[in-house]
């Protein structure tokens, strides 16, 4: 994404298109269309959406004769992190604890999975507490 540009949220259709680019690399509009599930959007819809994403600074293109091949500029992990943060802030009162509790209540995550997450956290915290070799 271009430096200094305000981060804009993506629509559902924009996210779907970005996912295709993230998973497949640079594509021409016709190739993007081929990767859509049924019912496929119209060619012009995809072309318009990709140009909107380009205007937002999330997509770039290379010129091949009369055609353009589009590629994701924005990093998927950046969107994942920002989207999760937005969901937690907007729907769970900025509380990750409430979000995880909700997932447990709705049986979207198991107790065993939560235990695995706790193990990951404990391992991460224990390695952070050891002095680095440069500090010895």
> Which pLDDT score, from 0 to 100, does residue 1 have?
45
Range of the domain at 117: 92-130
The rounded mean pLDDT for the chain is 86
> Which pLDDT score, from 0 to 100, does residue 136 have?
43
Q: Which helix (H) or strand (E) holds 69?
A: strand 67-72
Q: In which band, very low, low, confident or very high, does the pLDDT at 132 lie, cut at 50, 70 and 90? A: low
CATH of the domain at 63: 1.10.10.10
> Which pLDDT score, from 0 to 100, does residue 59 have?
96
Chain centre to alpha carbon of residue 69? 21
> Which pLDDT score, from 0 to 100, does residue 121 have?
87
Same domain, 19 and 68: yes
**Total of domains in the chain:** 2
- The pTM assigned to this predicted structure is 0.65
Burial 53-64 (b: 16+ CB within 10 A, else e): beebbbbbbeee
């Amino acid at each position: 994404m271009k430096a200094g540009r305000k981060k804009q949220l993506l629509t559902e259709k924009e996210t779907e298109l970005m996912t295709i680019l993230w998973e497949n690399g640079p594509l021409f509009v016709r190739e993007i269309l081929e990767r859509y599930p049924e019912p496929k959007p119209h060619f012009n819809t995809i072309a318009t959406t990709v140009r909107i994403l380009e205007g937002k600074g999330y997509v770039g293109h290379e010129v091949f004769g009369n055609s353009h091949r589009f590629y994701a500029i924005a990093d998927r992990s950046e969107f994942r992190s920002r989207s999760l943060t937005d969901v937690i802030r907007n729907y769970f009162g900025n509380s990750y604890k409430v979000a995880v509790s909700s997932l447990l209540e709705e049986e979207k995550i198991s107790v065993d999975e939560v235990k695995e997450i706790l193990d990951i956290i404990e391992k991460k915290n224990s390695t952070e507490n050891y002095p680095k070799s440069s500090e010895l």
